[in-house]
Amino acid sequence: MSHNMKILITGVNGFIGSNVARQLKQDHTLIGLDTDSVCNKNNVDFYLQMVLPSPDLEGLIKTFQPNYCIHCAGSASVGYSMQNPGVDFNSGPPVVFHLLDSIRKVGSGCKTIFLSSAAIYGNSDQLPILEDSHLSPVSPYGYHKSMCEDLMREFHAIYGLDHVILRIFSCYGTGLRKQLLWDVCNKFKKGSADFFGTGQETRDFIHVQDLAAVIALIIQNGIVNKTINVGSGCETRIADVVALLAEALNYNKNKIHFNGDTKPGDPLKWRADISSITKLGFRPTVSLEEGIKQYTNWFTALDKIDEHTL
């Protein structure tokens, strides 16, 4: 049922957006939106520069009549949201409202796949975290994702707009220039190995290629009006990730030190219940060891590229 759909991807130049486009471009016609003047990966059929919310969005939906909109645009940093809650809010709920309202006005029947986050669970009192686990966000980022999810449900309940909400756990992969792996690699590069927390905190890591594969499966199976966890189902200690990175970068593991201070906004332990995506036939294909190896190879090569261009 899923062959050659028209799919609109917002934030198509971003880390997740560009990987999703790469995954879907074989089978579907892609319309990409982002704030840059060009599509930097050339993996869409049509590209439009647009800053959302934009009065031009409605006309675009009317013209292309997409079957799906995958909303990848928006900020993706818990730490940044703690310091700049207003910026985080403005890139979230108002944009999502505008997107859904534009789809409603055109009446095209476009389905929305919304990239939410495990941040809305906060410190869950049960592991693995189920989709109906209690939501207790501990960061503005988590609260704003939760508001966006409410908008998805509002537009479904009142206007019949179909959606899928993906609660993504710790998504990583080559090209990601923020969050844990990026921060650790940069610290090692500067010769420092002092980290927040105890190292016993846990995350559920999912490689961006696996996330893109989940989105392809959702479209293929015509899943609608479901909230779905996207993770690997494995709980990994931060200390183990730091050790794997140290090994890959030949950094002395004995120098690694955790200062015991928890960063505000950071939850303690995460592991996703992934039965929803497992039922669709999903199996993670990139192990954390392999993903970290790819990441450190990319990170090391980055230096050479930067030196070369200076």
> For residue 310, what pLDDT is reported?
39
Condensed to tens digits (0 to 9), the pLDDT of residues 224-237 reads 999 999 999 999 99
Is residue 302 scored above 60 in pLDDT?
yes
DSSP H or E run through 172: strand 170-172
The reply to whether CATH 3.30.1490.20 applies to domain 6-175+205-233+271-286 is: no
Give the H/E segment covering residue 182. Answer: helix 179-189
What pLDDT is recorded for position 2? 53
How confident is the prediction for the chain on average, in pLDDT?
Answer: 94
Question: Is 188's pLDDT higher than 70?
Answer: yes
pLDDT at 196 over 50: yes
Exposed/middle/buried for 101, CB within 10 Å: 0-12, 13-18, 19+? middle
The pLDDT value recorded for residue 266 is: 85
Over range 13-37, report the average pLDDT. Answer: 97
Tens digits of residue pLDDT in 70-117: 999 998 889 899 999 999 999 999 999 999 999 999 999 999 999 999
Tell me the H-state helices in 139-237: 140-159, 179-189, 208-220
**Taking the domains of the chain in order of start, what are their residue ranges?**
6-175+205-233+271-286
Distance of CA 111 to the CA centre of its chain: 18
Q: Report the candidate in 149, 117, 146 with the shortest Cα–Cα distance to residue 272.
A: 117
pLDDT band at 306 (very low <50, low <70, confident <90, very high): low
Q: Which of 257, 203, 258 is nearest to 232 (CA)?
A: 203
Flag whether the pTM goes above 0.85.
yes
Residue 287 pLDDT greater than 60, yes or no: yes
Task: Please give the pLDDT value at position 201.
Answer: 95
Residue 13: pLDDT above 60? Answer: yes
**At 55, which amino acid appears?**
P
pLDDT of residue 309: 43
Alpha-carbon gap, residue 191 to 43, rounded angstroms: 38
pLDDT of 117-140, one tens digit each? 999 999 988 999 999 999 999 999
Contact 145, 137 (CB under 8 A): yes
